[in-house]
Structures are given as C-alpha cells and as structure tokens.
Amino acid sequence: MSEANKKLVRDFWDALSAGRVEEMLTMMADSATWWVAGNFPLSGTRDKKAMRELLAGIGETCEGPIKMTVKGLTAEGNRVAVEAESYVKLKNGRVYNNQYHFLMEVRDGKIDRVREYLDTMHTNAIFCTP
C-alpha cells in the first residue's frame, strides 16, 4: 500500500511539473481538500474546484509549468510525506523557487487531503505583491 501511494504522489507531482494540471486533478478525490500554511492570500483550505481555479490563475502568471522536484518521499499507511522544491520564472521577471513539506493522505487510490508547508513570505512576495 505504501509503495502504491508513493507512486501516486510522485505521478501527481510529475503531472504538475509537465503542466498537466487536469491530469493531476484526476488523481485527487472529488472530496479532496488542500490546506496551505500561513496567513497570506494563498493560505487556508480549498476544495478541488478551488484548487483548479488557483492553479489556473497562478499558471497564467508563469512562463511555463511550475517544476516540482521531489527530494524525498516517506510513506506509512495512507500518509505520504513529501519534501520538494519548486522552480518557475514568471512573466514579470520574478523567479519562484521554494522549499516544501507536503503531507498527503490517500484514500481509495486517490489523494484525499494535502497539507502544504512552505516559505510563505517568499510565496507572498512573488505571487501576491505587486
């Protein structure tokens, strides 16, 4: 079970890195939630529909897909812990390069819950500050 969950999570991030957002979203349960740490405009909990909208909005500001490099995966039961790094150039000349820890829960072969921990100040400066 843990190995299958790790493969699902790796495939999820590979799809995002290739710009295949709709494929990535099919790997999420319809009832999935995604929580982002912090206290800035992108923080909080979103459902799958809201994540689709957020990713589309962010994607419009980028020169290409956000490259997510998985640095490590640890799985136990239905939980997969992910260490990752992102990189993308924005159309306004800024560069987004962040470090993450994601805790992802898998149920019935789909990602059901994501908790995202990241450098919120960097994210806010790049995506939310004019």
pLDDT of residue 37: 98
Binned at pLDDT 50, 70 and 90, residue 1 comes out as confident
Task: Identify the helix (H) or strand (E) that includes residue 66.
Answer: none
Q: Decide if pLDDT at 76 tops 90.
A: yes
Distance of alpha carbon 73 from alpha carbon 45, whole angstroms = 23
pLDDT of residue 17: 97
Q: Residue 76 burial (CB < 10 Å; 0-12/13-18/19+)? A: exposed
Residues in a beta bridge with 113? 33, 105
Binned at pLDDT 50, 70 and 90, residue 119 comes out as very high
Q: Which CATH number fits domain 2-128: 3.90.220.20, 3.10.450.50, 3.30.2130.10, 2.60.40.1930?
A: 3.10.450.50
Instruction: Report the pLDDT averaged over residues 19-37.
Output: 97
User: For residues 68 and 85, is the Cβ–Cβ distance under 8 A?
Assistant: yes
Distance of alpha carbon 8 from alpha carbon 24, whole angstroms = 10
Picking from 54, 73, 71, the residue whose alpha carbon sits closest to that of residue 123 is 54
Q: Is the dihedral of CA 129, 49, 60, 68 positive or negative?
A: positive
User: For residues 104 and 23, is the Cβ–Cβ distance under 8 A?
Assistant: no
